[in-house]
Amino acid sequence: MLQKSTKARVLLLAQAATILVFGGVSAASAFGPSSPEERAAARAERAAAEARRAEAAEAQVTPAVAEAEADDADADTAEAEAEGDATEDAAEEELVEQTIYDGVFTAEQAEVGKAVYTANCASCHANSMRGGPGGKRIIASVINTKYADLPLSAYFGFMQSAMPPGQEGSLTDKEYIDTLAYILQTHGAEPGDQELTADYEKLDYIIMGRKPAEEPAEQ
């Protein structure tokens, strides 16, 4: 009994912390930190918040025990355990930073994405994606320069929340992500074995980067 209520209290604390952390993270990551260190720090923070949110969601399943009294020493122990679990969960993911040139989407996705792009985007951005009557260029220098050091999550976030104008978010996650695969392929990235998914945590680890051949020579 004592154990259970202690856990519930800790989880409520965790929930409060999650709200604070999420508020901070989402505000800061709108257009993303751009150094590898900043990106790593942002990801670590997000992973910890994610773990705390999962714990908090569990807490809501057992609200009846929330009001019970608990010993402070026990609470500290349980909190330390909760922290430990969160760290383990974050470590289990083992996400490694990649670039869009590492075969991060499949040829099938790009194929499906081509149809989605043609139907929903080409009228403004042109089949070439280099700009047209109603919209600007979305590949080439846009990816090589504007988004060069940003993760795919920044580009995908813009697509999903602002495109097509006036019908933002009108496509399914899969339609948006397949369209992104086709955009990357048209830009010059090769498909591979990896399936691109609309999981922002994973997209955070795929840096748009510069096409390896276009890397400026070291001085």
Please give the residue ranges that form the binding site for ligand HEC (CB under 6 A): 120-121, 123-125, 134-136, 138, 142, 146, 155, 158-159, 163-165, 179
Q: Smallest distance, Å, CB 192 to ligand HEC?
A: 21
Name which of 23 and 134 has its Cβ closer to ligand HEC: 134
Query: What is the identity of the amino acid at 199?
Result: D
> How far, in Å, CA of 186 to CA of 169, rounded?
22
Q: Which two tokens stand for residue 158?
A: 């813009």
Tokens of 110: 């790009």
- Our CB check for ligand HEC shows the closer of 49 and 208 to be 208
Taking the complex as a whole, the smallest distance from the CB of residue 153 to ligand HEC amounts, in Å, to: 13
Q: How far is the CB of 126 from ligand HEC (least distance, A)?
A: 11
Closest CB to ligand HEC among 8 and 152? 152
> Both tokens of residue 202?
């994973």
Side chain identity at residue 107, one-letter code: A
Minimum CB separation of residue 60 from ligand HEC in Å reads 36
CB 184 within 8 A of CB 117: no
For ligand HEC, give the closer residue by CB, 51 or 177: 177
Residues 6 or more apart from 58 whose CB is under 8 A from it? 11
- Rounded to a whole number of angstroms, the minimum distance from the CB of residue 119 to ligand HEC is 9
List C-alpha distances in Å: 198 to 51, 90, 184.
19, 19, 15
8 A C-beta contact, residue 67 and residue 154: no
CB of 50 to ligand HEC, least distance (A): 26
Q: 């081509």: which residue's tokens?
A: 114
Which residue, among 175, 165, 162, has the nearest Cα to 116 in the 3D structure? 175
Q: Which is nearer to ligand HEC, 4 or 136 (CB)?
A: 136
Nearer to ligand HEC, 4 or 146 (CB): 146
Q: Where are the beta strands (DSSP E) in the chain?
A: 98-99, 206-207
The whole-angstrom separation of Cα 155 and Cα 198 is 12
